[in-house]
Amino acid sequence: MPWSREDMAARAARELKDGYYVNLGIGIPTLVANYIPADVQVLLQSENGMLGIGPFPYEGEEDPDLINAGKQTVSELPTTSYFSSAESFGMVRGGHIDLSILGAM
């Protein structure tokens, strides 16, 4: 039986370690946030320049300026930082992010 998108996201989430900075790419990687174990605290980064992604907002509380790499609305945390996408990729390429989960075509 083939794995569903949710199965793949849940499996990827098991690779997360407490304290990691984690980049989530487009597609299935954005689902990983839904499967982070409760006892693991990570800081999520989006490729479009947001470090400290909060949960998906409730309906009616969306801010169209706060989106992840997949253009889904997200929320911010009190510690969220913003920067350009060039700086975001530099953080990943420069080894400043512990784990990057990328989508595939």
Contact 27, 49 (CB under 8 A): no
- Find the Cα–Cα–Cα–Cα dihedral 32, 76, 20, 97, rounded to 10°: 100
62 catalytic? Reply is no
Catalytic residue among 6, 15, 47, 62: 47
**Residues 49, 91: Cα–Cα separation, whole Å:** 10
Give the active site residues. Answer: 47
